[in-house]
Amino acid sequence: MKDAFERFGLLINDRVIKTPIAIASMAGIIDGAYVLQRAEHTGIGFMGGYSIDRPTMEAARTLAASGSRREFLYEDPVEELGSQLRQLEKSTVVPGFNLRGSEPASFAGIAEALGDRVVYEIDAHCRQPVMVAAGSGESLLKNPETLGAVVRALKEKDVTVSVKIRAGVAPDDHRLARKLWAAGADILHIDLMDFGSAKLRQIRNSVPLILIANNSITTFDRMKEMLSHGADLVSLARSSDEKTLAALDAGITHYADEEGWYNAPKQLCRGGDVRALTFCCMPVKECPLIPTLSRIGISKEEYLRLKMAAVRGTPLEGGSQTCFGSLCWCCKTSSPCMFRDITVKQLGLSKREYMRLKRELSDAMICEVFRELPPDETG
């Protein structure tokens, strides 16, 4: 697991995520046994959706009786979830539960009973009319105050909170993401529908939360597209078969070992997200850097100061033969450059280590960009 931490740098609930691949929930299908069978190539397993209060448990019965959907049915959610969780006790997969409920207290009750070993995912995604009528799923996206209250109720139990959303349902996904950040969410799990990576980049540019990209991610190319536009992990539901998971896991492990930063952004001028500031040069020309700085509210002077301070005392500080006298202004290794490559070599670094240092620089800059939590508008 030490290798996995060095490779991906992902920790949730104080546990190393061994690969940036999650199984996304499918009601009536994804339970402990399903995740366990795919444990070798899974970082997080979101079991469920599980209904956790009277209105949603009744909605699940109605759906199952109609024959249109499979559902998990039980009398006591705590007992059922506890038994699923026990199946993953010895596994390396970090467990998550996708939960359908309508009241903050229902979510808090489950967290109280199951403790902090689990990721609690609020299902704000389901669009089945009976679930929505029960006040859960997509209904929460239309009632951000209730959704915010559910996030806060879970955070009061000191647990990790994910919110599963479907892009394009809330009037403004950027504002929704900011509201969820302010309310205390840790993870946004986004079904991108047909919006693709541009929507993901918009959300990446809005919040510093862990982002999981979802929908039709079945090939390594599509996975890489998501990771290079802001995703920390990708998730699969319908295609979460062992063969597909194994292929994605092998692809991303190889890529991370070769490149040094498994989810490195594209450069800003090639459609990259805010993390790409790590590859930007000094603001001396007309290019997307200047409008990006003004959008995130950082002056040119602050950008210069911030970047130079972040690399002080690190190998990226050097680089007298490069365009701007320091590797902190240098481009991604995928952009060919003899001067950067010679400097990196003279410093005794591999290209992989250079990219790892660029990731550290990006992390430091992201902390500054998102220094101020927005006011909680859902409270």
Ligand X SMILES: Cc1cc2nc3c(=O)[nH]c(=O)nc-3n(C[C@H](O)[C@H](O)[C@H](O)COP(=O)(O)O)c2cc1C
The distance of closest approach from Cβ of residue 358 to ligand SF4 in the complex, given in angstroms and rounded to an integer, is: 11
Q: Which of residues 191-210 bind ligand X (CB under 6 A)?
A: 191
Cβ closest to ligand X, residue 123 vs residue 357 = 123
Residue 342 engages ligand SF4 in binding (rule: CB under 6 A)? no
Q: Please give the Cα distance from 94 to 18 (Å, whole number).
A: 9
Kindly tell me the burial class for residue 297, based on how many C-beta atoms sit within 10 Å of its own C-beta (0-12, 13-18, 19 or more). exposed
Question: Using the rule CB under 6 A, is 281 a contact of ligand SF4?
Answer: yes
Q: Which of 378, 343, 14 is nearest to 182 (CA)?
A: 378
Contacts of 14 (CB under 8 A, 6+ apart): none
Taking CB within 5 to 8 Å according to partner kind, which of ligand X, ligand SF4, none is near residue 24?
A: ligand X
Nearer to ligand X among residue 74 and residue 370 (C-beta): 74
- Smallest distance from the beta carbon of 355 to ligand SF4, in angstroms? 12
The backbone torsions φ and ψ at residue 363, rounded to the nearest 5 degrees and listed phi first, read -60, -40
Please report whether residue 268 would count as binding ligand SF4 according to CB under 6 A: yes
Q: Does 214 bind ligand X (CB under 6 A)?
A: yes
Q: Which residues, numbered 231-270, are part of the site for ligand X (CB under 6 A)?
A: 236-239
The whole-angstrom separation of Cα 2 and Cα 295 is 38
- Return the structure tokens found at 3: 């290798």
* 61 or 270: CB nearest ligand X: 61
CA 82 to chain centre: 25
Among 13, 143, 205, 216, binds ligand X (CB under 6 A): 216
Token pair, residue 156, equals 């009061």
Dihedral of the alpha carbons of 194, 197, 203, 208, in degrees to the nearest 10: 140
Regarding 215 and contact with ligand X (CB under 6 A), the answer is yes
How many angstroms separate the CA atoms of 204 and 208, rounded? 7
CB of 324 to ligand X, least distance (A): 43
Task: Give me the residues that bind ligand SF4 (CB under 6 A), please.
Answer: 267-269, 279-281, 287-289, 322-323, 329-331, 337, 339-340
Task: Give me the residues that bind ligand X (CB under 6 A), please.
Answer: 24-27, 48-49, 98, 123, 125-126, 164, 191, 214-216, 236-239
